[in-house]
Amino acid sequence: MVGDSCCGYSYLCNMVSKTTKLDIRQQSIDQLESFFSERGEKAFRGRQVFQWLWEKSADDFQSMTNLSEKHRKLLGDHFSINPVRLDQSQFSSDHTIKSQFRLHDGHLIEGVLIPTANRMTACVSSQVGCSLSCKFCATGYMDRARNLDAAEIYDQVVQIGAQAQQYYQQPLTNIVYMGMGEPLLNYKNMLQSVEHITSKQGLGMSAKRITVSTAGIAKMIRKLGDDQVKFNLALSLHAANDLKRNQIMPINERNSLQALEQALNYYYRATGNEITFEYIVFYNFNDTLDDAKELLTFSRKVPSKVNLIEYNPIEEANFINTKEDRLQRFAAFLEQKRVKVTVRYSRGKDIDAACGQLANRS
């Protein structure tokens, strides 16, 4: 397909049938400049188009008003834009908004706007479905159809950001890659989407406002370190011994806690970024003081903080959220040991928008 080099671009275009157009958002700025210059046009037109796509979020060529009609037709003859379209939205009693988005090939994904007093957070998906089969997660019971491309992740941020402005008159402040799918199994597109969201030639958001959550793929965590990423990393832990974690997260059978510990420390040494451990607290499974002691031990192996998360029931699983007194005792134990702990209560449960509930249900 299209390589990094601009050489041979005309040959590539000639190989594309008249009925098949290249997705323009798969093109680099250099490729767009070459497209114009090879046709006797000014190369800077490519920069203008790139700005329209990623800074101004244009989803059609006619909106590119500083290009002539001739240039817009030229683009339309050779390229397509495949934007994510809002299919439907649901509104929670706690003001959370869950949206179902339709992709150009008909697949559906979900994203969530989570408003609080001082934050507007977009929760975005990275795959259609998921292949990891975590036992407590509705998405894990779906098949993985495909990865999202960078533009499809970017579009969720733009659409959810528009909802924040429309309904709450506030811009997005945070983005979490905690929707459908495993971001580190869509590594290249995930990184490219972050680049478009954070770049001065894109949306210009701070990478420190972005958190990517993983179920725990050791070799890809190491790659995050090699790439010295600037965003935050969260690990969905949920049990701090291998036996229990294997029961609820099959990925742990190939990525043990020891392997994750080594990978996380490698990542921390490379980036200096503290890790967040996400820990859903299930009743009579991982909510005893012995479980808290195991979490304490593991959390001390890498600079970290802990989010204790309320469980959100799904039809496919029989897990139960822990009782409030057990949750508070669990949190108090960790706090006494000077672990940085936050208890996260669910948002959007009444519309299946909470953590672990996304499964294209309306």
Is 355 in the active site? Answer: yes
Is 182 in the active site? Answer: no
Catalytic hit among 33, 110, 152, 278? 110
Backbone angles phi, psi at 23, to 5 degrees: -75, 110
Of the candidates 83, 101, 103, the one whose C-alpha atom is nearest the C-alpha of residue 23 is 83
Q: Which residues are registered as beta bridge partners of 16?
A: none
Catalytic hit among 123, 134, 137, 355? 355
Three-state helix/strand/coil letters over the chain: CCCCCCCCHHHHHHHCCCCCCEEHHHCCHHHHHHHHHCCCCCCHHHHHHHHHHHCCCCCCHHHCCCCCHHHHHHHHHHEECCCCEEEEEEECCCCCEEEEEECCCCCEEEEEEEECCCCEEEECCCEECCCCCCCCCCHHHCCCCEECCHHHHHHHHHHHHHHHHHHHCCCCCEEEECCCCCHHHHHHHHHHHHHHHHCCCCCCCCHHHEEEEECCCHHHHHHHHHCCCCCEEEEECCCCCHHHHHHHCHHHHCCCHHHHHHHHHHHHHHHCCCEEEEEECECCCCCCHHHHHHHHHHHCCCCEEEEEECCCCCCCCCCCECCHHHHHHHHHHHHHCCCCEEEECCCCHHHCCCCCCCCCCC
- Could you give the CA distance from residue 283 to residue 290 in angstroms, rounded to a whole number? 14
Active centre residues (catalytic): 110, 355
